[in-house]
Each structure stands twice: as C-alpha cells, then as structure tokens.
Structure 1
Amino acid sequence: MVCFATSSCTLSFRKYKKPFAVESASDPQLKKLVGEWMCTKIVVESNNRAQELEMEDVLSSVREDLELNVIELGAPDSAWTSYRSNGNGYQAMQWEFQPANNINFSADGAPVGSFAIAALEKDTMVLLMQLRPPDGGAGKAVCSCQFTRINSRKIAGMRLYDPAINWWRPQPQKNESHTELVNRLKAMLKFDYVYIRSLYYSAATYIDTKRLNMPFIYYNGGIGLKDYPDGTDSFTNFFYSKENIEEAMHILAKGFGKVQYTKRPNYTLEYAQFMKDLADVIE
C-alpha cells in the first residue's frame, strides 16, 4: 500500500455530520475500527481544479492501491493487512492510534504514512490523507477514502483473509499434479466468489475485473474463457510452468461445459455465482 500523507494530518472535519473525535488510545470507540473494510470510493476534496489535475498521477496510484480493495484492521497495535486482489501475497503493517484522530502505519519499524479519521460509524468509515505532487512541489490536496464494513454473514460466512481461500497465492516451487491443480483452481474461484460478493454487499458502484484472478472474459450477462492467458494476466503468476498453466486451462474448459450461467438481480451476483458453481464442478 502507498500512503502519501504526512506523519500527522491536521484536517478539517466540519463537513461530516458526526465527525470522529477521540482523545485517548484507550477510548472504546476505537473498537469500531476492527474488522474488514471495502474501500468503495476515493476522491480529492479540493475547490481548485488545477490542484486536482496536478495530483492526478498521485491520485491514480492511491486508487490502484486502495479503491475496491479490502483492508483488515485488527486490534490497535496489531497488523493491518492491505489486500490486492491479483497479488501473490499480502502487505502487512502495524497501526497505532495517535490522538487526535490519526492512524499511523509502519512496516518493519519504519513509518509508512498516516490517515486522519474523519468519520466512523458502525458500518461506514471515512479516512483522509494529504497528497503531495511526486516532484516534491509545494502543492497539496486532501484525499477522502470512503469505506464500508464487510458483513461476513452476507458473503457465505467467510472472511476474505481466511487461509482456506488464500493458500494459493505463493507461486509453487515445482510442477503440480492434476489433483493439486484442481484444488488450486477451486481455492482461487472461491476467493473471487467471496471478493465479488463483498463488493456487492459493500454497495460498491462498479467492479474492476482486472482485479480478479481468473483468465475470463466478462460480458453483460455472461462469462467466457480465454483461449490462453497472455502475459498481462495475473493468472499465470500462480503456476510453476507453462505445462501447468495449459493443464489448468484445460480443467477450466471442461468445467465451463458443465456450468450454466445463472441470472441474478445484479450482474455482480451473477459473476459471483458462476465462480462458486464452477468451483463445485471442476475435477
């Protein structure tokens, strides 16, 4: 994760109906931070259009790291985990609360950045950070990151960080057997199933299919399988060899012939259901 905030954010919270205000790290309100959060929207809060344009590249990088990604916050002074859906692992950091209203992050003892808590309710959170241009210029802007708490009961009772659906991330160190490849594909599909449902129940307004791990083509009302993943597909990062990739594609192709795409009230739920159904039939 990339943070561009200074070590201490002094920002205005007057626009929020219930601004967050805590003066002690032992305040019970901080328990509301614990859990999994989907970042549903990131915007620059500025009345200066020229300033927004100056920050465009920085904002793009922040969106790549956070928007439509999930963070998990443990108890204060424990690990913060930043999830990137097409990565081979996690980025874990420590976090601590600094009165008033700041969350500071560090990795391996080195400071990484800081957010200011603008608003915190049971299921919603707004974090602010200051952006500065990459050339070190004097300009700055405030970036608002809006989060929705993920309700695990609505996503099959599973946490997105459950080891049972994340063990496939490290690339294997040798060729895998047919059974091992099937198990790997099942876990990858189940992860995408949980992630897509997390998007839907977090009220995210869109889905970025580039964040999904499978070599699929996504249509309005259907999903197709690529003939072969190209070098830009994250799918290829999770297999040891070209031979294993080819066998995995063959397993998926056979599964496609057994699954019927099910219509749902929302295309996001259709994608999720297809992932689950395909995971159930591949062998």
Structure 2
Amino acid sequence: MSATGAPLPRARGRNWQLAVTAAVVLTAGWVVAAHRHTVDAGTDRLAVADRNWLVAAGAAALATWVCAAVAQQGAVTERLPAGRLVAAQFAAGAANHLLPAGIGASAVNLRFLTRCGVSTARSATALAVKAAVGGLVRFALAVVLLLVSPPTLRISPVVPRAGVLLAVAGGIAVAATAVAICRPLRRGTGRAASRVLADLRAVHGRRARVCALWGGSLGFALVHAGVLIAVVRALDVSVPAGHVLLAYLLASGAALLLPTPGGLGSLDAALVLTLTAAGAPGAAALSAVFGYRLLTAWLPLLPGLLVLALLTRRSVL
C-alpha cells in the first residue's frame, strides 16, 4: 500500500492478472458445460483412437522437455548439468500450470540457474532471451506457412489475415514478457545494459550455444505441434499436417495474449477454433485438444510437482 492507502502498481497488476485468469477459466467452464454432449462425444472418440498414434504423441510430449532444456542451455554460456536441467524443465512445466503468464516456469528456471552459479541478473537475461527467441521462431514459422504456401495452407478466407495479426500480437506479448523479466536490469545505469549485450554476444559467439538456443526453440514448437498432429491422426481426422501445424502456431500465439496458467482456457479455445477452421469436425477438434492437453499438461502435472518438490528438497532449486 502507498502512503495514501492506494494499492501499489505491482499489486494492481497482480489483481488484474488474477481477475482475467478467473474470467477466462469461468468462461471456459461455462462453454464446456453448455456443450456437454459435444464434449462427451469427443471424449468417447478419443477412447477408441489409434493406440499407435497416441503412443507417438506421448513420445513427442516427452521430447518437449528435452527441447526446452536444450534451448535453456543455449541461453547461457556456462555448461549446465544435463540431467538436472531436463528435470528442472519438467518441474517448470508443472509449475507453469499453477501460476499465470508463465510465472511458475520462469521462477523455477531462475532458481535453477542461480543454483548453478549464474548470477540473478544473467539468469533473468537468459530467460528473457529464451522467451524472445521462442516467440520469434513461432512467428517466423507462422509467417512462412501463411505466406510461402498459401494455396495448401489456406484454412479459411479470414484466418490467414487474422493469423498474421495473432502471430504478430503473440510475438509482441513474448517481447513484453521478456522486457518485464529484465526490468530489474534496466533500473541501473548503462552498466546493466552493457552486461546484457555482453551476455548476448557471448552466447551468440559460440556456435554450439546458437544451435542449442535456436534449434531447441524450433524443436520445442515443432514437437508440441507434433503432439497435436499425432492426436489428430489417432482420431482419423482428415486434416493435413500442415494445417494442424498452422492451427497450433496461431492458437499458441493468440493464447499468449491472456495470462492464464499454462494457457488454460485461452489455448484450448483457440486450438478448437483453429482446428475447426482447418476442417476438423467440432467433436473431433475437442477430442484432439483434450488429448493434447492430457499428454502435455494433465498427466505430467502430478509427477512434475513431485519432481519439483524433490529438486527443492535436494537444493537443486
């Protein structure tokens, strides 16, 4: 509280985020309740899906944490312990589904990097660089799919134009998040900015780090889309893989605009919308999103929290 009794700006920001999160979650719950029969039909369809494709989707989901670990390693010059780095990404994924706007994952990774001997300022820079590169990679992929191959990837007359705007907005949201993470670095003199530039030059001065940062970010986006593509194939829905990839990129870009935990509600609604626009029936789109969420969020949630507790107890975090 300030001297006048008004809430501080940071507190107001948190209240706004919590209000938006609650509104999105309640709206998503209302939509699910209103379309209960469609949801039931989608769940039943997933229960009889192709098991081989579902196994492939599960393997792709496991690879997402490896790609996240590779990208995180590429954002720092120090060599991080590989096993603990992957475990930290698994724990960060669970924490990310409990707090809004990626705060959980950022907090876990920040703690992990500082425990590995990286200063707090340089750890914040590494997280900002990783977030910015991830946003740029998704933006570039979406633009390539929308502009380079429009005849084969034209989802609808409206979605390509709106999709570019969503991708741009998502990239701006990622950049804003990166700036917010690095806000403590900008409060000092030019010395802080010099340290950030020095870290960027050091990382991009090593070919291995550049390949890890950009390749891991690219792999993370593609593997996440691969989970969704495999689930769609398991449901025997005749939607081209390129359309599903574009649908995922547009939906994930749109979900960045709302600070919900792990994109809860915002990503789900955007995925259903884009998959339906790509030609998937409503029930099949719901089944695909449910399967994607089950493999990437709900099934790993409890094990991820257990890993988080174990890493904390062992002072890894």
Give the TM-score of the pair, scaled to structure 2.
0.25
